[in-house]
């Protein structure tokens, strides 16, 4: 690649995501320096927030592969105090199959779920993790 070759927005975004993953995992010089200066607690918080980005991608991939999203009610929602690109990272209590479960996820600041509303979730068959897919349409 030449010095003046233009990269697409998608290529730049993929590189930024890879760099973020390397940093929060403590790989490479930047990862080691970040962990040393910020400490394990803060880098763990960054890692948790970045996992929300990947959760949305995994949700979309599972639905594209044929997984059927479930519509479940939101029982409560707590702000974790972190944001990614202005979108809040929250802990959402939902009820699925009669069991209350917490999901730590990013939500759109434009469509923040509220208690009593319904949201889409899908279960990752490999990890059994529930992934948030957004607000269900209101009737």
Entry pTM = 0.68
pLDDT of residue 57: 82
The 10s digit of each residue's pLDDT in 20-59 is: 778 777 888 888 888 888 888 877 777 766 666 678 888 8
| Structure tokens belonging to residue 77 | 């929602």
Instruction: Give the mean pLDDT of 4-10.
Output: 77
Instruction: Give the mean pLDDT of 109-123.
Output: 93
Domains and CATH numbers, the chain: 9-63 (no CATH), 68-135 (2.40.50)
Nearest to 50 by CA among 19, 29, 27: 19
Report DSSP letters for 33-63, one per residue: HHHHHH-HHHHHHHHHHHHHHHHHHHHHHHH
- Whole-angstrom Cα distance, residue 74 to residue 97? 13
């Amino acid at each position: 690649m030449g010095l003046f070759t233009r990269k697409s927005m998608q290529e730049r975004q993929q590189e930024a995501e890879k760099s973020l993953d390397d940093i929060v995992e403590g790989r490479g010089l930047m990862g080691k320096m970040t962990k040393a200066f910020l400490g394990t607690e803060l880098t763990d918080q960054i890692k948790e927030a970045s996992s929300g980005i990947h959760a949305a991608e995994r949700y979309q991939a599972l639905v594209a592969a044929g997984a059927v999203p479930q519509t479940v009610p939101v029982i409560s929602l707590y702000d974790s105090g972190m944001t990614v690109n202005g979108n809040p990272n929250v802990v959402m209590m939902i009820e699925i199959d009669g069991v209350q479960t917490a999901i730590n996820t990013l939500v759109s600041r434009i469509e923040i779920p509220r208690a009593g509303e319904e949201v889409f979730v899908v279960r990752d068959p490999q990890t059994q993790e529930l992934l948030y897919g957004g607000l269900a349409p209101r009737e």
